[in-house]
């Protein structure tokens, strides 16, 4: 009738079932919903803020956070996301975290390199076209900060482009509210 779709698959991976039935297949039936459309998120109308450090900071209703793009270094733009605490318009903690990140970027890259250089070597060993050996110094020099995120509790993450060390994955360096590095992992 056009209102249902039945989808089936093999119970045993890799075996194509001779017929679609509950006995030899996993079967799922999807039905069209005829009710009211769900409400969509409406703009809260939150006005942008202006920051000397961050420039124009806009509110993202979908993620309940402030967002900006800053010139982190010459030829390097970095996205900034700040999840506010109780006072939604207080972005000062986020500004302080960005200032800290600017001062400690080299330290964060060195921390990531120390934590991840062995994994990078393993990845390079699996590559048919392995180039120069990866050292902690070359690792730290290659990665570039692309995003800074700060949570309401004061902890945050520095997100780095991996310069294809891990095939285009991102490197996340976690920072505690006390401003110590707590972890460096590959993601995505």
DSSP string, 2-43: -SEEEEEEESSTTPPPSS-STTTEEEEEEE---SPPPPPPPP
**pLDDT, position 123:** 82
Q: Which residues contact 143 (CB under 8 A, 6 or more apart)?
A: 109, 112, 113, 160, 161, 162, 163, 165, 171
Burial label for 96, CB within 10 Å (0-12, 13-18, 19+), is middle
Average pLDDT for the chain: 87
**pLDDT, position 58:** 96
The whole-angstrom distance between residue 87's C-alpha and the CA centroid of its chain comes to 25
**pLDDT, position 73:** 87
Q: Tell me: the pLDDT tens digits for 32-47? A: 777 776 666 667 789 9
In the chain, what percentage of residues exceed pLDDT 70?
A: 81
Q: Specify whether the CB–CB gap between 114 and 135 falls below 8 A.
A: no
Q: Report the candidate in 128, 114, 127, 108 with the shortest Cα–Cα distance to residue 165.
A: 127
The whole-angstrom distance between residue 106's C-alpha and the CA centroid of its chain comes to 20
pTM above 0.85, yes or no: no
Q: Which residues contact 24 (CB under 8 A, 6 or more apart)?
A: 10, 11, 17, 18
Q: Which two tokens stand for residue 85?
A: 């605490």
Q: Which residues contact 115 (CB under 8 A, 6 or more apart)?
A: 183, 184
3-state secondary structure of 108: helix
The answer on pLDDT for 159 being more than 90 is yes
The answer on pLDDT for 130 being more than 80 is no
Q: Which residues contact 82 (CB under 8 A, 6 or more apart)?
A: 57, 65, 66, 67, 91, 93, 94, 97, 149, 150
- Euclidean distance between CA atoms 139 and 32, whole angstroms: 51
Q: Tell me: the pLDDT tens digits for 171-188? A: 999 999 999 999 999 998
């Amino acid at each position: 009738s056009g209102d249902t779709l039945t989808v089936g698959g093999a119970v045993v991976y890799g075996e194509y079932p001779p017929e679609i039935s509950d006995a030899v297949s996993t079967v799922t039936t999807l039905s069209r919903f005829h009710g009211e459309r769900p409400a969509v998120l409406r703009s809260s109308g939150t006005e942008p803020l202006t920051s000397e450090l961050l420039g124009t900071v806009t509110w993202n209703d979908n993620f309940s956070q402030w967002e900006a793009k800053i010139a982190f270094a010459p030829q390097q733009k970095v996205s900034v996301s700040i999840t506010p605490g109780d006072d939604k318009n207080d972005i000062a903690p986020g500004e302080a975290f960005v200032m800290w990140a600017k001062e400690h970027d080299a330290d964060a890259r060195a921390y990531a390199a120390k934590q991840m250089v062995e994994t990078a070597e393993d990845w390079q060993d699996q590559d048919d076209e392995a180039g120069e050996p990866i050292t902690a110094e070359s690792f730290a020099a290659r990665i570039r900060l692309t995003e800074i995120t700060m949570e309401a509790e004061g902890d945050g993450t520095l997100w780095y482009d991996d310069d294809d060390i891990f095939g285009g994955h991102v490197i996340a360096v976690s920072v505690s509210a006390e401003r110590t590095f707590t972890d460096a992992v590959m993601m995505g």
